[in-house]
Amino acid sequence: MMFKRCLLSLVLAGASWSALADAAHADVEFAIIKTGKTTALKGMMVSGGGFTTKVDGNFSAILVKHGQATFLFDSGLGSKVAEQYQQDMPWWARAFFKYENPVVPARVQLDKAGIPPIERIFLSHAHWDHASGLGDFPEAVVWAAPEELKVIEHAAPGLGGSWPSQVSLKSIRWQSLEFKPQPHKVFDRSIDVFADGSVVLVPMFGHTPGSIGMFVTVASGKRFFFCGDAVWRADALKDGSPKFWPASLIVDKDREQTQHTIEQMRELVKLDPGLVVVPAHDDTVQSALGYFPSWIK
Ligand SMILES: [Zn+2]
């Protein structure tokens, strides 16, 4: 009621369209659920990052609340991560791609906070550190780009694809995202999840064949862009540097396409300097925003 009255007074005051558009996002907020972390040399995360400074890398799931609807973007490390890692991480990669204990799965944190069951999960991509928690949400429908569903169909142990221990569970109900030929900012296709511009998914193919990103505009009007693993650190956008090349060689399916995505993001922040880019593993950006159960609105 209060909201309707606010909206009405804005109309009566002849408010600009952009003020109305912001008012439409009055019930949108998000929280970063940190499920675990790893420590890496900065030079491993971003080209030119140096090999003396150590940085934390987070494994996070993003919880978004839109009115009565609540959903996750990625699932972080799940309750079975130790078994999954044991089964599907190749031995040669274990020194470089690891996580530290303790892991606090998203499901555990949500249950503790009394958040009702999650109905849907959007997957930025199907790599092990993003899909690990899917099995903890059997009541959710998991949405991924069709190109990523093909990767999932061919799940196999190793890096660069997706793991059978995580994505081949019978309990997971997959759904294919259908991008519309509706340009959004620098992207030529998009999905406006709630048809109000507050949550918009875009294709960011390159890191994997079906990687996606998500724009969220919260109640205050502040804008965020969750770019998955297109870059590991937001610093990388300042000069367009890719990941350290051996790491990129291992994890980026299509390096040229990944670099194109980085250029698109640089263009994006140039056009909208107020936009906060949140890479999936960037501890510096995520710590500044704070973690669940605190919300960003
Ligand atoms: Zn990742």
| pLDDT single digits (tens) 12-41 | 333 333 334 444 567 999 999 999 999 887
3-state secondary structure the chain: CHHHHHHHHHHHCCCCHHHHHHHCCCCEEEEEEEEEEEEEEHHHHCCCCCCCCEEEEEEEEEEEEECCEEEEECCCCCCCHHHHHHHHCCHHHCCCCCCECCCCCHHHHHHHCCCCCCCEEECCCCCHHHHCCHHHCCCCEEEECHHHHHHHHCCCCCCCCCCHHHHCCCCCEEEECCCECCCECCECCEEECCCCCCEEEEECCCCCCCCEEEEEECCCCCEEEECCCCCCCCCHHHHCCCCCHHHHHHHCCCHHHHHHHHHHHHHHHHHCCCCEEECCCEHHHHHHHCCCCCCEC
* 278 confidence band (pLDDT: 50, 70, 90): very high
Q: Which residue has the higher pLDDT, 9 or 82?
A: 82
Mean pLDDT of 66-79: 96
Ligand 1: centre distance to CA 93 (Å): 14
Question: 130 alpha carbon to ligand 1 midpoint, in Å?
Answer: 6
pLDDT higher than threshold 80 for residue 104: yes
| CA 215 / ligand 1 centre spacing (Å) | 18
Q: What is the pLDDT of residue 96?
A: 83
If you measure from the C-alpha of residue 221 to the centroid of ligand 1, how many angstroms do you get, rounded to a whole number? 28
User: Could you state, in order of their start, the residue ranges of all structural domains in the chain?
Assistant: 28-289
User: pLDDT tens digits for 141-191?
Assistant: 999 999 999 999 999 999 888 999 999 999 999 999 999 999 999 999 999
Q: What pLDDT was estimated at residue 254?
A: 86
Q: How far is the CA of 79 from the centre of ligand 1 (A)?
A: 17
The answer on pLDDT for 42 being more than 90 is: no
pLDDT above 80 (res 77):
yes
Confidence of residue 192 (pLDDT cuts 50, 70, 90): very high
Ligand 1 centroid distance, CA of 16 (Å): 40
Kindly report which listed range (47-51, 99-103, 267-271) carries the lowest average pLDDT score: 47-51
Per residue in 227-257, pLDDT (tens digit) is: 999 988 888 887 777 777 777 877 888 888 8
Work out the average pLDDT over 50-62: 86
Residue 14 CA to ligand 1 centre (angstroms): 46
Fold of the CATH domain 28-289 = Metallo-beta-lactamase; Chain A (3.60.15)
Measured in Å, residue 229 CA sits from the centre of ligand 1 at 5
With 80 as the cut, is the pLDDT of residue 8 above it? no
Ligand 1 centre and the CA of 214: distance in Å?
Answer: 15
Q: What is the model's pLDDT at position 239?
A: 73
pLDDT at 159: 85
Q: What is the mean pLDDT of the chain?
A: 88
Å from CA of 262 to ligand 1 middle: 16
Which of the two residues, 93 and 147, has the higher pLDDT score? Answer: 147
CA of 136 to the centre of ligand 1 (A): 19
Percent of the chain with pLDDT over 70: 91
What pLDDT does residue 7 have? 36
Q: Which residues are CB-neighbours of 137 under 8 A, at least 6 positions away?
A: 72, 75, 107, 117, 118, 121
Q: How confident is the model at residue 87 (pLDDT cuts 50, 70, 90)?
A: very high
| Closest to 89 measured CA to CA, from 3, 156, 40 | 156
